Chains A and B, each alone.
Chain A
Amino acid sequence: MSTEIKISHVFRSFSSHAVLNDVSLTVREGELLALLGPSGSGKTTLLRLISGLDQPDAGSINIGEDDASARHAKDRGVGFVFQHYALFRHMTVFENIAFPLRIRKAGKAEINAKVEELLKLIQLETLAGRYPAQLSGGQRQRVALARALASQPRVLLLDEPFGALDAVVRRDLRRWLRQLHDEMHITTIFVTHDQEEAFDLADRVVIMKDGRICQEGTPIDIYRGPVNPFVHEFLGESNRLAAHISNGVVTAEAGFALGRAELPDGAAEVFIRPHHVVPYPSSSGAWIVARIAATGAQVRIGLARNGTLLESAMTADALLDSDLQAGGTAAVHFTGGTVFTSQGGEPVRLSPLPVGN
């Protein structure tokens, strides 16, 4: 039985505020898909519509061959893991996981076997008798996942699964989840506002904003070719510069050349990631090295020129080789970037100028 999720032209409003505005999306069978977007972009609402906890105003949702909207949430075969876990507080870990089995009146032996198996899977065999309040956040999240899996769902929906956890637990749990998915191949959608998490974990990423899908694709494709300034900014820090194009040369409004782009003359907006800003010491350089901050393997360098500020990043080793000094003067070479023209349309890659220009 196919477990592909097909969402077509879905609309949903809450008191005249459109939360989802004509959303269409296909999630392939066995895929691990991330819904990425800022809060209020409609990603959780979309998840709730798929699960049946909420109904679309218009549009259709299919899971496999059947029309999901024709089925009540309890019969959709959708496992939902809530951001705050939603464990049954009056039940032990064992009973929480056994819940979906008891609901369908499974036999005692079957329940014991299944729960034991899931406890093993989440590595919490010793905590079966605890209540949710006696567990850490990461443990609760795993119990929630085991409970969802116990209902043998066709698809798994995770709402900000790592949102309430601290950084280390989050990273461990993320790896564990990826591993689990690779073993079980359940079609899975997870919601997150954390770009790094989405890219690290997902086969495919869908970026949402204001109830619409901005872009979908593999992490690499999206990172290399963001379709609009919003996506570009959302995917990580970048320097945003107003610029104009003449004869294929892109020049910042502040008066320095950025690179070349095959575009007609006119105004443009250029996004340059910190690692594409390469400063080198130069006594005649127009930039001042305002700040050098070591953050580990990466070093961040703040550059200033007549009120224009640029953020650069390089490896600690590269910094040592470059002889850059805080307070010194520098010239800057741009090795890449993305140009969005004011007319809209497809963005164009910035190609570097020859060094020394």
Chain B
Amino acid sequence: MAGRISLITAALTFLTLFLLLPLISVFAEALSSGVGAYFTAIADPNVQSAIWMTLTIAAIAVPANLIFGVCASWCIARFDFVGRNLLITLIDLPFSISPVIAGLLEVLLFGLNGLLGGWLSAHNIQIIFALPGMVLATIFVTFPFVAREVIPLAQEQGNEEEEAAVTLGASGWQIFWRVSLPKLRWGLFYGVLLCNARAMGEFGAVSVVSGKVFGETDTLSLAVESLYGSYEIQAAFAVASLLAMLALVTLVLKALLEFLHRDELAAMKRKKAS
């Protein structure tokens, strides 16, 4: 009993110290000069542009990785092909490479002096120091999140439900929408949440390729850093509080969905246990 209490205490202390206190201090600092100053900081056109930038990047990167994750899990779980293991390993690559290196690789590829730089500038296509580059960097960094969540699930679930659907008269398209996708939906959901969180919070890779033109190629994460760097502490925390709120909204959304589908989730857990 004493052991249990001390363990719980330790866990709670740890959580308070490393999660709760920082979160509170973000909001405390953001509001330290009053609510007016808080909204002024957020209403700043440069910050507004950073918000749009962040949302735009996430809105492109997350669906891209969602589609990729579904395709990859479909291939890996259904077919045994040459290069299957290589594909599984490659998916993990972004986890093992520092995001900054990922950004640098992109500069080397698409930058003015890069491999494709000459061709791109000849055709007036700007990737580096512009939105496309930032989106690409974010896709690369968040690449594994959906796939990693969905592939094991797809492998565990196997192919039998799809085969059953075929014998019941379903076409390939019907099977995909009515069977394959729904049975993976919780994996997809968690994968998308993680992917989204990372896409909005990504700093390293995006920082390298953005060029940090304040008000143009700035995301929320980058804005926090540049504001903090120019001693606008309160404004930096105000922007940081926006990111924190995005995280909180995500959590609430997750809890809400889990609550609405609690029967189904309980049934799935029971099946796993049996």
Q: Which residues of A contact B (CB under 8 A)?
A: 51-53, 73-76, 78-80, 82, 84, 86-91, 99-100, 102-104, 130-134, 144, 147-148, 150-151
| Nearest 3 Cβ contacts at the A-B interface | A133-B271, A86-B160, A131-B267
Chain B interface: which size bin? 20 to 34
Mask for B8-52, Cβ within 8 A of A = 1, else 0? 000000000000000000000000000000000000000000000
User: What separation, in Å, do the CA atoms of A144 and B270 have in the docked complex?
Assistant: 20
Knowing A82-B160, A99-B178, A134-B270, the reply to whether A90 touches B167 (Cβ < 8 A) is no
Give chain B residues whose Cβ lies under 8 Å from the Cβ of A84. 160
B167–A103 CB distance below 8 A: no
Those of B170-184 within 8 Å (CB) of chain A: 170-171, 174, 178-179, 182-183
A162-B260 Cα distance, complex, nearest whole Å = 35
B5 beta carbon closer than 8 Å to chain A: no
In the complex, what residues of A have CB within 8 A of residue B169's CB?
74-75, 100, 103-104, 151
**Within the assembled complex, what's the spacing in Å between the Cα atoms of A102 and B170?**
10
Q: Nearest-CB distance from B93 to chain A (Å)?
A: 31
Q: Does B185 contact A (CB under 8 A)?
A: yes
Chain B residue numbers with a CB within 8 Å of A87 are: 161, 164
Q: In the complex the two chains form, is A80's CB within 8 Å of B164's CB? A: yes
- Contact sample, A vs B, 5 pairs, CB 8 Å cutoff: A82-B163, A86-B161, A87-B164, A88-B182, A131-B268
Closest to A89 in B: B183
Additional pairs, 4, CB under 8 Å, beyond known A53-B166, A100-B170, A144-B164: A51-B167, A80-B167, A100-B169, A132-B271
Expressed in whole angstroms, the Cα–Cα distance for A74 and B165 within the complex equals: 8
From A86, A100, A104, contact of B163 by CB (8 A): A86
Per DSSP, are chain B's interface residues mostly helix, strand or loop, or mixed?
helix
With A53-B163, A88-B161, A89-B161 in contact, is A100–B168 under 8 Å at CB? yes
Give the interface of B toward A (CB within 8 A).
157, 160-161, 163-171, 174, 178-179, 182-183, 185, 263-264, 267-268, 270-271, 274
Whole-angstrom CA separation of A73 from B166 in the bound complex: 6
Q: Are B160 and A90 in contact (CB under 8 A)?
A: no
A148 to chain B: which residues have CB within 8 Å?
167-168
Give chain A residues whose Cβ lies under 8 Å from the Cβ of B264.
90, 131
Q: How far is the CA of A79 from the CA of B168 in the complex (A)?
A: 7
Chain A: which residue is nearest B164 at the CB level? A86
Chain B nearest CB, measured from A76 CB (Å): 8
Inter-chain contact B185/A90, CB cutoff 8 Å: yes
Write the nearest CB–CB distance from B95 to chain A, whole angstroms.
29
> Which residue of A82, A86, A133 contacts B267 across the interface (Cβ within 8 Å)?
A133
**Cβ–Cβ < 8 Å partners of B160 in chain A:** 82, 84, 86
Nearest chain B CB to A71's CB is how many angstroms away?
11
In the complex, what distance in Å separates the CA atom of A150 from the CA atom of B174? 17
Known A-B contacts A86-B160, A99-B178; the reply to A133 vs B270 at CB < 8 A is: yes
In the complex, what residue of chain B is closest to A75 when comparing beta carbons? B169
Contact yes or no, A74 B171, CB < 8 A: yes
Q: Which of chain B's residues have a CB closer than 8 A to the CB of A91?
A: 182
A88 touches B163 (CB 8 A): no
Most buried by A among B166, B179, B183, B271: B166
A74 to B175, CA, bound (A): 11
CB neighbours of A150 from chain B (8 A): 168
User: B268, A89: Cβ atoms under 8 Å?
Assistant: yes
Given A82-B163, A148-B168, is A90 in contact with B263 using a C-beta cutoff of 8 Å?
Answer: no
Give chain A nearest CB distance to B133 CB in angstroms: 39
Q: Are B164 and A82 in contact (CB under 8 A)?
A: yes
Question: Considering the chains assembled together, what is the distance between the CA atoms of A79 and B264 in angstroms?
Answer: 27
Residue of B nearest to A84 (CB): B160
Are A99 and B163 also in contact (CB < 8 A) when A90-B264, A133-B267, A133-B268 are?
Answer: no
Nearest Cβ in chain B — how far from A337, in angstroms?
Answer: 44
| Cα(A103)–Cα(B166), bound, Å | 10
**Docked complex Cα distance between A99 and B174 (Å):** 11
Q: Which residues on the A side are within 8 Å of B167 (C-beta)?
A: 51-53, 73-74, 76, 78-80, 148, 151
